[in-house]
Amino acid sequence: MAIVQQVQKRMLISLAQIAKDVNLHEGDHVVIEKMDGGIFLRPVDWVDKNQKYIWTEEWQGKLLRSQQDLEKGDYQTFENMEDAVKDLEELANASRNKDKEL
């Protein structure tokens, strides 16, 4: 939806008409980017709101475990994507079979 706004004193414009749609509130932060000859505004928190999940306790724990596995050398490499997918499918099947036994 395009909205035409007149730029006011001190280069102010009102975002009230679309702020609700993008969950933008007074005091929130936005990134302002010059893009393709225009201006792009994106709501952010201390991190990009679209990536806020990564800072949750759950995801930070996953990242820490991954880093520890990398440091221990506890990982696999594959020659191609098909081999990686095959390995994941085998792990999923083994997990399903284990669940059935319980």
* Predicted confidence (pLDDT) per residue in 46-81, tens digit: 778 888 899 899 999 999 999 999 999 999 999 999
- Alpha helices (H) in the chain, listed in sequence order: 16-19, 57-72, 81-101
**Judgement on whether residues 95 and 79 belong to the same structural domain of the protein:** yes
pLDDT at 49: 82
Query: Residues 68, 86: one domain?
Result: yes
| Pair 40, 63 in one domain | no
- Same domain, residue pair 28 and 62: no
Q: Is the Cβ–Cβ distance between 38 and 32 less than 8 Å?
A: no
Strands in the chain per DSSP E: 29-35, 38-44
Give me the number of domains the chain comprises.
Answer: 2
Q: Is residue 4 part of a domain?
A: no
Q: Which domain covers residue 76, as residue numbers?
A: 56-101
Q: What is the model's pTM? A: 0.46
Interatomic CA distance for residues 95 and 9, integer angstroms: 63
